[in-house]
Chain A
Amino acid sequence: MTLIMDIAVVALRMLLPVYTVVIVYQIFAAMRRRRRPERPLVMLQDVDTGEKIPVLFWENSIGRARGSDIAIDDPAVSRNHCVLLRRKEGWFITDTGSKTGTYVNDKRVGSRRTMLNIDDTISMGNKEYAFRRGEDFHEELRSSWFFSKVSNKPAIQPYKILILVSLFHVFMAVEACFCDGAKDFDPAVLCGFLVGVEWMFFAVSRLVLKREAFELEALGLFFTGIGVMLLARQNVKNATLQPAYVQLIAAVVGIIAFCIVIKFIENPDRIGQWRLIIMIAAVLLLGVNLVFGRVTNGSANWVHIGPVTVQPSEFVKIAFIFVGASTLDRLQTRQNLLEFIIFSAICVGALALMGDFGTALIFFGTFLLISFTRSGDFKTVILALTGAGLGGFIVLNMKPYVLRRFQGWRHVWEYTQDSRGYQQARVLTYIASGGLFGVGIGNGVLKYVAASESDLVFGLMSEEMGFISAVTIAIAIATLFIYARSVTTRSRSTFYSISACCAAGLFVIQMSLNVFGATDILPLTGVTFPFISAGGSSIISCWGLLAFIKAADERTYAK
């Protein structure tokens, strides 16, 4: 009898890592297959030569510059001449400060958007183009790598993916119910609520919002559920599941935030009006944090409101991406980054003052990504890096406990009994103890170490679910960028492409700090693992950021 039980236990443990790989593969495979064929949206036809130029994007720069979406080799055309863009109402053209001007049916176009109709004539410099339908373009177009060479198999149905995800969480619950020394079936109840939330979200997405794709959401739910179920046997002191329920409730709030953010950025042109307000709100939020923040684990980035503890810096991440991204015509007319640089400096500075250097580093890294994607300017990047280097040097001199962390870095085995290496050494020990397949949910020992469910969660996952699962999940989050990058070729505005890519970049930076900090490849900075670490503010912000990637998919707003 015990042998049969043991076989079942081992089989389940081996199943989870394999299952993780299957789910992650299925979701990304579905993302690839679910896509309409590559066709130009409209077309410009040279009136003199008859040459056909496909218009591929929702927002297109036209100019003499070689990097333009539509490059025109004519000395009379400015480098960044005008922008051709599509909105819900139709196609528009905006002159972005050209010398010789842009004309539609011989009427000069200003910096305000002018609507275009099919067969209108657009002239700039010595060139004249007819505005034609995309269907009239018959040549083959190259597709992005992620979507090219996809087999003709239809995408797996979204509900099937969600069944896979929910079943995975059920397996986790089974393991948690039967872990060493377990006497109750509370994790099963928790799992019931979790699965309920998952399917409710699916129903709302499908029936109310009428969205066809659900892969990205399924991936988010997959990670979130893992975080929730890991907490089921985490609270070792009083053995309640309260933290797990708090995490689940926060996840629901996060999912609502996800929907709100998508709705909020629906119209990329309206975003401009909100930019300043959001910036001020974010700065105020950090200000409140600075004044009322209470010091927890060496940094004062927590604010207590009654029974609820929030980390305002997490929400500022969403604002940060929002402020950083921009539509193409705005990018071309207002090229300087000053406003964004000042905003970033305030954010990073405030976080450094609070002593939360991990989050400050995330903001700084994301700042580099955004500013480079916007301007393509290496000088800004190098200047910022130099500034940060100086700042880092000052920090190391002023905050002794940061320096202490650096002392332990790559030497944790010499400091297994003090704060320089205690946590990292245990993470490594228990990663190794878990092996490839893990010791099972609830059987881990790392949970007795402080912050194991947040800063050290990679170790906890690895110990209880196995190294394969932990690494696969980390890769899946990194792959979000590949998806974001691929999907943005079809984004409705550069606002979405910048925000989606940079949100994915933020996830990767944050995850790097978490994973490599806990495993002593980088100094331990104490940031959360996206979606999985326990922490209400963190999970809400993750879902908020995921909204940017979802919004980059043109089908999100298609009705």
Chain B
Amino acid sequence: MKRTLKRSWLIFIVVIAFLCGLCFLVVETVLNASDWVDQPYNGHISGAGGLIQAGKITDRNGTTLAQSVDGKRVYHKNKQIRKSLLHVVGDDSLNISTAVQSRFRSELTGYSFIWGLDMPQSFRHGHDMELTVDAKTCKAAYEKLKQYDSGACVVYNYDTGEILCSVSTKTYDPNSPPKITKKNEEEYEGVYLDNTLSSTYTPGSIFKIVTAAAAVENIPDIWDRTWDCTGRENIGGNDITCVGSHGHVNLKQAFGHSCNIVFAELAVELGEKKMNDMAKKMGINASFNISGVDTKKGHFDISKADKNQLAWAGVGQYTDAVNPTQMAILCGAIAKGGTPVNPYIISGNTGSILTDIGLTKTGAAGKNMISASTAEKLGELMRYAVVNDYGDTMFGGLKMCAKTGTGETVKGESEKNDGWMIGYCKDSRYPLAFACVVRGSSQYGYATAGQVAKAAVIQAAKSMKE
């Protein structure tokens, strides 16, 4: 009998194992409950019903972007602002999965793990959320963006990480969300996608920043070199073409005129490894976490590229792709001496336990991308581009450093491009980094995205002044 009883310790171990598993479940539940609740299929919060008692969402100045009044969700009274902030704020549905009203619906409705959802109405306390965005800046950017098929514009404060402007098109009015059918499918293609976070575009010439960084770090006599551009050069069996013939240029001039031939040659000279190393350091293939949403990873893969393709990859064509927010962060890094401050969009309490107890901080420094000296040199190149090619007047006198680019998407007669402008303001009063992209115009980045960037940055600076 004694022996039998002694041997039952094996069963005791099973029981202990079960209790340990149970403890694990409890800990996991306490830590993750708010993430588990925010699922598009969750019957307790789906539809406008889930927002009946939800809290207010305000921008950085306290402007109400969305609130619940008498059982209805009411958005900002200005239609342009509503449309510009659709992808940040969201609508009644959970269709835009990266929007605040989708991801933090449970927090907005006052969710806590103790009380769960589905409390009787009298006991619900909506939870307000404050965003870092500036409604006016978003509106300004949207009014320019809406002229094009689609696009995205991100402006953020590279000192603090606050995102002032995050606009994505196509968009719609959250007050009257469209019913998407077979008929209007094309019109609303990708409308639920926040292009600032979840899309990538061919970078075109803005990728020359990466190639330039690799050259500055790896070629000692880079500043003494000169090139002769005739507008066309055979590299690796095929021609690399330039917009015009840029003549005799040094690195600064080549960057300012956006000379393809110079940077194509540099890419080939640097070779696969050094280009890859720099792209990796600058986070081209990485994802960045913006208040809980991971940006879509960019793409830089030259492992199968021949010499000509490597040359094209060095000027942002080939299979290169980058994400707008990622490019804004890259500019932020250049402005901050090589290490960016991670951008974020929710300034108030997020309801996440980890944030509340200070485990995940907002506005923390991100991963170092380039050395301080390289950052300074890149800044000079970008400053030169503005002064000599776009002119300081473009940004109403703000001291800007920038680069435009044009990613070729559709070739041939109905040529349509992805136009880019990215950069930052070299003024300690307006520490703004930005990235704007516009799809579906045959014009160059300067004429399209440049106008969006101009409107957004000028308005952002104005708002900061107020």
Q: Which residues on A sit within 8 Å (CB–CB) of B41?
A: 416, 426, 429
Q: Assess A433 versus B44: contact at CB under 8 Å? Given A61-B3, A494-B4.
A: yes
Q: Assess A443 versus B118: contact at CB under 8 Å? Given A431-B29, A478-B18.
A: yes
Size band of the B side of the interface?
35 or more
Residue B34 at the A interface, CB < 8 A? yes
Residue B37 at the A interface, CB < 8 A? yes
- How far, in angstroms, from A369 to B7 measured CA to CA in the complex? 9
- With beta carbons under 8 angstroms apart, the residue of A10, A69, A494, A516 that contacts B123 is A10
- How far, in angstroms, from A516 to B24 measured CA to CA in the complex? 10
- With beta carbons under 8 angstroms apart, the residue of B14, B113, B122 that contacts A432 is B113
Q: Which residues on A sit within 8 Å (CB–CB) of B69?
A: none
Contact between A429 and B42 (Cβ–Cβ < 8 Å)? yes
Residue A531 at the B interface, CB < 8 A? no
Contact between A376 and B14 (Cβ–Cβ < 8 Å)? no
Contact between B42 and A433 (Cβ–Cβ < 8 Å)? yes
Contact between B15 and A471 (Cβ–Cβ < 8 Å)? no
- How far, in angstroms, from A59 to B8 measured CA to CA in the complex? 17
> Which residue on chain A has the smallest CB distance to residue B16?
A478
Within 8 A of A (CB), among B30-84: 32-34, 36-37, 39, 41-44
Contact between A69 and B116 (Cβ–Cβ < 8 Å)? no
- How far, in angstroms, from A485 to B8 measured CA to CA in the complex? 8
- How far, in angstroms, from A482 to B11 measured CA to CA in the complex? 10
Q: Which residues on B sit within 8 Å (CB–CB) of A297?
A: none
Contact between B37 and A57 (Cβ–Cβ < 8 Å)? no
Contact between B37 and A498 (Cβ–Cβ < 8 Å)? no
Q: Assess A509 versus B26: contact at CB under 8 Å? Given A432-B37, A432-B113, A436-B113.
A: no
Contact between A429 and B4 (Cβ–Cβ < 8 Å)? no
> Which residue on chain B has the smallest CB distance to residue A481?
B15
Residue A556 at the B interface, CB < 8 A? no
> Which residue on chain A has the smallest CB distance to residue B10?
A372
Q: Which residues on A sit within 8 Å (CB–CB) of B4?
A: 328, 331, 373-374, 488, 494, 497-498
Contact between B12 and A481 (Cβ–Cβ < 8 Å)? yes
A141 to B: closest C-beta gap in Å: 14
Proximity bits, A501-536, B CB within 8 Å = 1, else 0:
110110011011001100101000000000000000
- How far, in angstroms, from A368 to B11 measured CA to CA in the complex? 9
Q: Which residues on A sit within 8 Å (CB–CB) of B121?
A: 2, 6
Residue B412 at the A interface, CB < 8 A? no
Q: Assess A445 versus B1: contact at CB under 8 Å? Given A432-B116, A509-B14.
A: no
Interface size on A, residues (CB 8 A): 72
Q: Assess A501 versus B15: contact at CB under 8 Å? Given A429-B36, A429-B41, A432-B36.
A: no
- How far, in angstroms, from A212 to B123 measured CA to CA in the complex? 47
> Which residue on chain B has the smallest CB distance to residue A500?
B8
Contact between A488 and B39 (Cβ–Cβ < 8 Å)? no
Contact between B2 and A67 (Cβ–Cβ < 8 Å)? yes
- How far, in angstroms, from A277 to B10 measured CA to CA in the complex? 29
- How far, in angstroms, from A501 to B118 measured CA to CA in the complex? 41
- How far, in angstroms, from A373 to B115 measured CA to CA in the complex? 44
Residue A548 at the B interface, CB < 8 A? no
- How far, in angstroms, from A508 to B19 measured CA to CA in the complex? 10
Q: Which residues on A sit within 8 Å (CB–CB) of B22?
A: 471, 474-475, 478, 515
- How far, in angstroms, from A433 to B117 measured CA to CA in the complex? 5
Residue A227 at the B interface, CB < 8 A? no
Residue B120 at the A interface, CB < 8 A? yes
> Which residue on chain A has the smallest CB distance to residue B38?
A429
Tell me how many residue pairs across A and B have CB atoms closer than 8 Å.
Answer: 169
Q: Assess A369 versus B14: contact at CB under 8 Å? Given A429-B39, A432-B37.
A: yes
A411 to B: closest C-beta gap in Å: 14
Contact between B5 and A485 (Cβ–Cβ < 8 Å)? yes
Q: Which residues on B sit within 8 Å (CB–CB) of A466?
A: 116
Most chain B CB neighbours (cut-off 10 Å) among A416, A443, A485, A502:
A485
Residue B114 at the A interface, CB < 8 A? yes
Q: Which residues on B sit within 8 Å (CB–CB) of A56?
A: 1
B22 to A: closest C-beta gap in Å: 6
- How far, in angstroms, from A322 to B122 measured CA to CA in the complex? 56
Within 8 A of A (CB), among B95-143: 112-123
- How far, in angstroms, from A238 to B75 measured CA to CA in the complex? 40
Residue B25 at the A interface, CB < 8 A? yes
Q: Which residues on B sit within 8 Å (CB–CB) of A331?
A: 4
Contact between A6 and B3 (Cβ–Cβ < 8 Å)? no
Q: Which residues on A sit within 8 Å (CB–CB) of B37?
A: 429, 432-433
Contact between A437 and B43 (Cβ–Cβ < 8 Å)? no
- With beta carbons under 8 angstroms apart, the residue of A5, A67, A365 that contacts B14 is A365
Residue B304 at the A interface, CB < 8 A? no
Contact between B8 and A373 (Cβ–Cβ < 8 Å)? yes
Contact between B42 and A445 (Cβ–Cβ < 8 Å)? yes
- How far, in angstroms, from A519 to B113 measured CA to CA in the complex? 16
> Which residue on chain A has the smallest CB distance to residue B118?
A439
- How far, in angstroms, from A511 to B15 measured CA to CA in the complex? 10
Residue A428 at the B interface, CB < 8 A? yes
Q: Which residues on B sit within 8 Å (CB–CB) of A515?
A: 21-22, 25
B401 to A: closest C-beta gap in Å: 40
Q: Which residues on A sit within 8 Å (CB–CB) of B114?
A: 435-437
Residue B17 at the A interface, CB < 8 A? yes
- How far, in angstroms, from A9 to B3 measured CA to CA in the complex? 53
Residue B6 at the A interface, CB < 8 A? yes
Residue A358 at the B interface, CB < 8 A? no
Contact between B21 and A60 (Cβ–Cβ < 8 Å)? no
- How far, in angstroms, from A436 to B117 measured CA to CA in the complex? 10
Contact between B44 and A439 (Cβ–Cβ < 8 Å)? yes
Q: Assess A438 versus B116: contact at CB under 8 Å? Given A59-B1, A505-B11.
A: yes
Most chain A CB neighbours (cut-off 10 Å) among B5, B24, B29, B44:
B5
Within 8 A of B (CB), among A448-496: 448, 466-467, 471, 474-475, 478, 481-482, 485, 488-489, 491, 494
Contact between B3 and A511 (Cβ–Cβ < 8 Å)? no
Q: Which residues on A sit within 8 Å (CB–CB) of B1?
A: 56-61, 69, 328, 491, 494, 497
A344 to B: closest C-beta gap in Å: 16
Q: Which residues on B sit within 8 Å (CB–CB) of A60?
A: 1
- With beta carbons under 8 angstroms apart, the residue of B2, B14, B15, B44 that contacts A445 is B44
Q: Which residues on A sit within 8 Å (CB–CB) of B122?
A: 2-3, 6-7
Contact between A10 and B42 (Cβ–Cβ < 8 Å)? no
Residue A42 at the B interface, CB < 8 A? no
Q: Which residues on A sit within 8 Å (CB–CB) of B117?
A: 433-435, 439
Contact between A373 and B7 (Cβ–Cβ < 8 Å)? yes
Q: Which residues on A sit within 8 Å (CB–CB) of B28?
A: 521
Contact between A482 and B15 (Cβ–Cβ < 8 Å)? yes
Contact between A512 and B39 (Cβ–Cβ < 8 Å)? no
A456 to B: closest C-beta gap in Å: 14
Residue A546 at the B interface, CB < 8 A? no
Q: Which residues on A sit within 8 Å (CB–CB) of B17?
A: 512
- How far, in angstroms, from A328 to B37 measured CA to CA in the complex? 54
> Which residue on chain A has the smallest CB distance to residue B121?
A6
Residue A425 at the B interface, CB < 8 A? yes
- How far, in angstroms, from A381 to B14 measured CA to CA in the complex? 14
Residue A205 at the B interface, CB < 8 A? no
Q: Which residues on A sit within 8 Å (CB–CB) of B33?
A: 431-432
B404 to A: closest C-beta gap in Å: 38
Q: List 19 A-B contacts (CB under 8 A).
A: A2-B121, A10-B119, A59-B1, A331-B4, A369-B14, A432-B113, A433-B37, A433-B42, A433-B117, A434-B117, A435-B116, A436-B115, A437-B115, A448-B43, A488-B4, A494-B1, A497-B8, A501-B11, A508-B15
A-binding residues in B (CB < 8 A): 1-8, 10-12, 14-15, 17-19, 21-22, 24-26, 28-29, 32-34, 36-37, 39, 41-44, 112-123
Other than the known A508-B15, A512-B17, A521-B25, what 4 A-B pairs have Cβ atoms closer than 8 Å? A10-B119, A433-B42, A478-B18, A505-B15
Closest 8 CB pairs of A and B: A435-B116, A445-B43, A6-B120, A432-B33, A439-B118, A432-B36, A57-B1, A505-B11
B-binding residues in A (CB < 8 A): 2-3, 5-7, 9-10, 56-61, 67-69, 328, 331, 365, 368-369, 372-374, 376, 381, 416, 425-426, 428-440, 443, 445, 448, 466-467, 471, 474-475, 478, 481-482, 485, 488-489, 491, 494, 497-498, 501-502, 504-505, 508-509, 511-512, 515-516, 519, 521
